[in-house]
Structure 1
Amino acid sequence: MNKLFHVEDSMIFTPSRLLVIAGPCSLESEAVCRSVAEALVKLRLQWPELNLVFKGSFDKANRTSMSGARGTGLHEGLGLLQKVRRDYGFPVLTDVHERQQIASVADICDILQIPAFLCRQTDLLLAAAATRRCVNVKKGQFLSPQEMAFVTGKLKQGGAKEIWQTERGTTFGYQNLVVDMRSFAIMRQTGYPTVFDATHSVQLPGAAGGKSGGQREFVGPLAQAAVAAGAEGLFIETHPDPDNAISDGPNMVALADLPALLERCLAVWRAVGGGKAKAAE
């Protein structure tokens, strides 16, 4: 049994495997979802050490401007996630923005995600916790890592069956985020696994022209550093053609580049005691 985490057999997270949440920013289309899922199947076969979760958003509710595409919508998006879950066998994750979405999402998805901007919304947290699904909550760009104890505390009080917490950088001046590598050690003191959002952490929020920019060339170095610093999982948005994706293209990883990135991260994970060493803690 892991010293830090109470892990039951029914939980999705396991300390003996590196958690990787991967998928397109927006669910966008069935073709994109299947392309990504098929690539993840190959990674699952190549590296059993990976604990893969498919992610995708049905609504990009916090777009910079009204002109930004918001995605498939709830009904179509959940249909796509259901197909991925059924046809490829991955647990699936999506964001919830409003309490009234939660029941429908919990019927399909294994993990409900609370977006960073909404991480202090008590009623949303409690409603997600009440589903008894796994809840992944992103640390707001405006919070210190110490404050995540209050966020996860709400989920615990709400009866959440499984809780993950995700670091996605902290606002630094205007249009920039920085990642404090101490965050993983601090946040995991809550007793819950900590994930690093490698792609949103390189986002350049609110850039000129009403669209956020990004620096995807830094996804790899930051992801490897986060694993070395103690992150138990990685959140990586990926797309067959990021430059033509409907959202977050500048910070998404090209699907063709994902295997090499994960291979490097796995090497770091093993070097710092991943796998058997972690399972034996």
Structure 2
Amino acid sequence: MDTTREVVIGPGFRIGGGAPLALIAGPCAIESQQHALEMAAALKEVTAAAGVPFIYKSSYDKANRTSVDSYRGLGLSAGLSVLQRVRQDIGVPVLSDVHEVEQVMAGAEVLDVLQIPAFLCRQTDLLLAAGRTGKPVNVKKGQFLAPWDMQHVARKIDTTANPGVMLTERGASFGYNNLVADMRSLAIMRSFGYPVVFDATHSVQLPGGAGSASSGQREFVPVLTRAAVGVGIDALFLEVHADPDRAPSDGPNMLKLADLPALLSQVVAIDAIVRQAA
């Protein structure tokens, strides 16, 4: 029996508590309104065919960049306006990062899920502000944290009486310019009772690996994805782009849109076996 909490994303959409495996996906950063609408529509079509509930993810501001010259997105106001159009026109829930307490209320007016970036996962005021909105909050585990330390992070949000906490594994620092995904962390964090998400694309990132930008090993995204679903998770997080090599942010670790249908087919099959055995 699944003992994780059930997080309500919207009407008929749940993550955890035995709900179907969900997908959080989209380009790393918002590039334009037209691009966001096209990507959201394409992802909705692919996930609907696979029978996988879908949340559109794209960042209005990528504040944690390697270089001051790195692309960050459209900014808070313009970016949230784009995500609102995606939500209305495409009819899918939307998720984006909030980096400062001052961004939280504006984000909560548009976003179905507020996401706390990994580097900010211990920022108490940010966690509490996000929790007090009542919106679901997805917290990415810091690359510097042990999985058991995330129970303290989650409990900060619990103090706001917000039941919608999700925890995401996105790899741990392993030497310089490298991350490693420890599959044990998924089981450890899930044992706390919170739905767990696996971020396969950031787990293959090589932070600062390209000198003035991060690099990545896109070819390992399917490998880690299959492994994580085999462990048992509640949702997948995949940054997806039609042409990652031309993307302004995180291209080397993003999955190609054309490769998503086959991967989802594998994931659905693996997830069914895991749930049957549980």
TM-score band by shorter chain is over 0.9
The alpha-carbon deviation at position 261 of structure 1 amounts to 1.3
Equivalences, count = 275
Structure 1 unaligned runs (5+)?
Answer: none
Structure 2 residue identity aligned to 1:5? R
Aligned AA (2:4): L
Alpha carbons of structure 1 residues 251 and 208: separation in structure 2 relative to 1, 3 Å:
closer
2:30 aligned residue: 27
Deviations 1:213-272 (CA, angstroms, capped at 9, x unpaired): 000000001000001011211100011111111100000011111111111111111121
C-alpha RMSD of matched pairs (Å): 1.7
Per-residue displacement from partner, 1:99-142 (whole Å, max 9, x unpaired)? 00001000000000000000000000000000000000000000
TM-score by length of 1: 0.94
The 5 A counterparts of 1:51-200 are 51-200=53-202
Greater mean deviation of Cα atoms: 121-130 or 75-84: 75-84
2:26–2:57 Cα contact (<8 Å) kept: yes
Match for residue 213 of structure 1 among 207, 212, 215:
215
Aligned match of 1:258: 260
Q: Distance between the aligned counterparts of 1:205 and 1:44, measured in 2? A: 29
Q: Name the stretch that deviates more: 244-253 or 36-45.
A: 36-45
Question: Which of residues 38, 41, 46 in structure 1 aligns to 2:44?
Answer: 41
What is the deviation of 1:159?
2.2
1:208 & 1:6 partners in 2: Cα distance?
Answer: 40
CA contact (8 A) 1:21 1:52 kept: yes
What residue is the counterpart of 2:5 in the other structure? 5
CA distance in 2, matches of 1:194, 1:138: 10
CA distance in 1 between counterparts of 2:211 and 2:2 reads 48
Aligned equivalents of 2:39 and 2:6: distance in 1? 31
Could you tell me which of 215, 222, 225 is aligned with 1:223? 225
Distance 1:242 1:102 in 2: 29
Q: 1:18 aligns with which of 18, 21, 29?
A: 21
Aligned-residue offset at 1:35: 2.1
Deviates more, 1:10-19 or 1:199-208: 10-19
Find the residue that maps to 2:23 and give its secondary structure: strand
Quote the offset at 1:7 in angstroms: 5.5
Residue ranges of structure 2 left out of the alignment (5+ in a row): none
Asked if structure 1 preserves the Cα contact closer than 8 Å seen for 2:121 and 2:127, the reply is yes
1:181-233 residue CA offsets vs partner (Å, 9 max, x unmatched): 11111001111100000000000001243100000000001000001011211
**Contact 2:15 2:235 (C-alpha < 8 Å) held by counterparts:** no
Query: Distance between the aligned counterparts of 1:96 and 1:115, measured in 2?
Result: 7
Residue 5 of structure 1 and its aligned partner are, at CA, apart by: 2.4
> Does the 8 A contact of 2:25 with 2:237 survive in 1?
yes
Letter in 1 for 2:65: R
Q: TM-score, normalised by structure 2?
A: 0.94
- Secondary structure at 2:152's aligned position in 1? helix
Report how far residue 47 of structure 1 moved.
Answer: 2.4
CA distance in structure 1 between the partners assigned to 2:176 and 2:165 by the alignment: 31
Cα deviation for residue 158 of structure 1 reads: 2.0
Post-superposition shift, 1:6?
A: 4.5
Change (3 A) 1:224 1:130: same
| 1:176 shift after superposition | 0.6
| Structure 2 residue matching 1:210: 3-state secondary structure | coil
Aligned partners of 1:75 and 1:239: how far apart in 2?
Answer: 23
1:235 aligns with: 237
State the secondary structure of the residue aligned to 2:29: coil
1:269-280 equivalences under 5 Å are 269-273=271-275, 277=276
